[in-house]
Amino acid sequence: TAHEIAAHIIDTAKEAVKVKPEELEPADADTAEVSSGASAGAPGSFEYVLARIDSRLLHGQVATSWTRSTSPTRIIVVSDTVAKDELRKRLIQQAAPSGIKAHTVPVQKMIELAKDDQHFGGQRALLLFENPQDALRAVEGGVPLDTINVGSMSHSTGKVQPNKVLAFDQNDIDTFKKLKDFGVDFDVRKVPADSYGNMDEILRRAQMELDRQKKS
């Protein structure tokens, strides 16, 4: 109806407004806003449109390609480390596309939200994890993720790189195996237009390279 269209336009316009200077934002705005939802009191729960592991978190590919293909109303960065970093939190908020709220919450807070999300009527959540360990903690805690998109894992000392965008150490490999034991499937793509990667084969190659390193 016309009233429903008007209400949607107003909500989208409000979410596109950026508070300047940032110091005027209420304390703990991320946690408070994501907890309140955009449709407070409405029936229903979160719809998880995408859960992604990406060491770069919210960047151009996520803000454009993935938001267009999944149409989230909320982007939630789930990270203890980033939740303590005010600069990174502000950069994430500013990187969000117009009309989409971006929040940063610790892993435990996401677990709590997932267990008590019945007031999130109409909310479509895109979750971003910096590493597979945080994703595993969320799944172990009860965040209902059937599939995790694996987009980018940066290289660092001690890691092997079986393809152009993913790097693993033994802890990463073991973590993905635990996620698989929980029944999680893996969607290995940088952007929606990419062909799907075979996670089992990628992990197998990574393990072989790590084993070679140990022997040399």
- Enter the tokens of residue 76: 């939630």
Q: Which of 115-124, 158-167, 195-204 has the lowest mean pLDDT?
A: 115-124
> CA neighbours within 13 Å on the CB side: how many for 154?
7
Does 103 participate in catalysis according to the annotation? no
Output the pLDDT for position 150.
Answer: 97
Query: In the chain, what are the domain boundaries?
Result: 2-215
Output the pLDDT for position 117.
Answer: 67
- Dump pLDDT digits (tens) for 88-137: 999 999 999 988 999 999 999 999 999 886 666 678 999 999 999 999 99
> Annotated catalytic residue: which of 3, 59, 119, 155?
59
Q: What is the mean pLDDT of residues 196-216?
A: 94
Topology at the third CATH level for domain 2-215: Fructose Permease (3.40.35)
- Dump pLDDT digits (tens) for 64-94: 999 999 999 999 999 999 999 999 999 999 9
What is the distance, to the nearest Å, from the Cα of residue 49 to the centroid of all Cα atoms in its chain?
A: 10
Distance, in Å, from the CA atom of 60 to the CA atom of 173, rounded to the nearest integer, reads: 27
Distance, in Å, from the CA atom of 210 to the CA atom of 212, rounded to the nearest integer, reads: 5
